[in-house]
Amino acid sequence: MRTLVALLLVLFPFVSSVAAPGLDAISVTTAANGDETYSVSLQILLLMTLLSLLPAALLMMTSFTRIIIVLALLRTAMGTAQTPTTQVLIGVALFLTFFIMAPVFEQVYDDAVTPYLAEEMSVPDALQAASKPFRNFMMEQVRDSDLQLFSDLSGNQEFDSLDDIPMSLLMPAFVTSEIKTGFQIGFLVFIPFLVIDLVVASALMSMGMVFLSPIIISLPFKIMLFVLVDGWVLLVGTLASSFYV
């Protein structure tokens, strides 16, 4: 123990001298024209913070929410319990999201990432430029009634143009619209499988087989129907086209 304490006392001045310049690295330098330049350490800190918020941004600013709701309702309508698994549904939803949002991601890369990497744009300007493609995408999908709801809740007055709508109001309105649209598509997906369940249940009751679960009998028919009509292609095509109608 004495040796350990002595070693700590010897190394403490060295650690203090090394740690001191690290604080200087987290700084903001203001140029003569008023532009602010962030140190590399601060830029890394901001980048790590943005990466931690990436899942929330994926849910609130892309097509992921609508897709995962429809896929989950499809699994419930078919009655296949955990098939496909939740991991598979999330993977399918992610790849569909990347496909649907590809034009938006490309525009963000061209308008914000490339100028920033070329040191032609500051961090605030890059963030502002990156938000515009997402903003345009959300404005095309959001309902006017949802925008009006959150505008009334926030106490804001009427906006002169769509560009004046803040992101703090647009994002919850967009998420609400996506959830509503996802449930509407899921309702339409539910109807064919519900009809099969009703037909099978009526047939079993007419034959007096009341103790046999209709789900066991209807499941193969629902799977066969979904495969024969090429259901995955129809569903994926409908989801993708619903964002660019």
DSSP 64-128: HHHHHHHHHHHHHHHT-TTSS-HHHHHHHHHHHHHHHTHHHHHHHIIIIIHHHHTTSS-HHHHHH
Task: Say which DSSP state 209 is in.
Answer: -
Kindly state the tokens that stand for 240.
Answer: 């993708």
Between residues 120 and 10, the one the model is more confident about: 120
Kindly state the tokens that stand for 82.
Answer: 């955990």
Mean pLDDT lowest among 83-92, 95-104, 152-161, 174-183? 152-161
Asked if residue 22 has pLDDT above 50, the reply is: no
Between residues 44 and 7, the one the model is more confident about: 44
The 3-state DSSP class for residue 244 equals: coil
Alpha carbon 101 to its chain centroid, in Å, reads 11
- Looking at residue 198, its pLDDT comes to 85
Q: In one letter, which amino acid is 43?
A: Q
The 3-state DSSP class for residue 28 equals: strand
Place of tokens 């789900």: 215
CA angle, 31 then 36 then 39, to 5°: 105
Asked if residue 235 has pLDDT above 70, the reply is: yes
Q: In one letter, which amino acid is 240?
A: A
Across 19-37, b (16+ Cβ under 10 Å) vs e yields eeeeeeeeeeeeeeeeeee
Asked if residue 62 has pLDDT above 50, the reply is: yes
Question: What confidence category does residue 48 fall into, taking pLDDT thresholds of 50, 70 and 90?
Answer: confident
Contact 172, 148 (CB under 8 A): no
- Looking at residue 195, its pLDDT comes to 86
- Looking at residue 40, its pLDDT comes to 59
Query: Cα–Cα distance between 167 and 237 in angstroms, integer?
Result: 29
The 3-state DSSP class for residue 30 equals: strand
| pLDDT, tens digit (0-9, with 9 covering 90-100), for 182-211 | 999 889 988 888 888 888 888 877 777 767
- Looking at residue 183, its pLDDT comes to 92
User: What is the residue-averaged pLDDT of the chain?
Assistant: 76
Query: Cα–Cα distance between 113 and 130 in angstroms, integer?
Result: 8
> In Å, what is the CA distance from 108 to each residue of 101, 128, 152?
11, 10, 31
Between residues 178 and 245, the one the model is more confident about: 178
| pLDDT, tens digit (0-9, with 9 covering 90-100), for 92-146 | 888 898 888 888 888 888 888 888 787 777 777 787 888 888 888 888 888 888 8
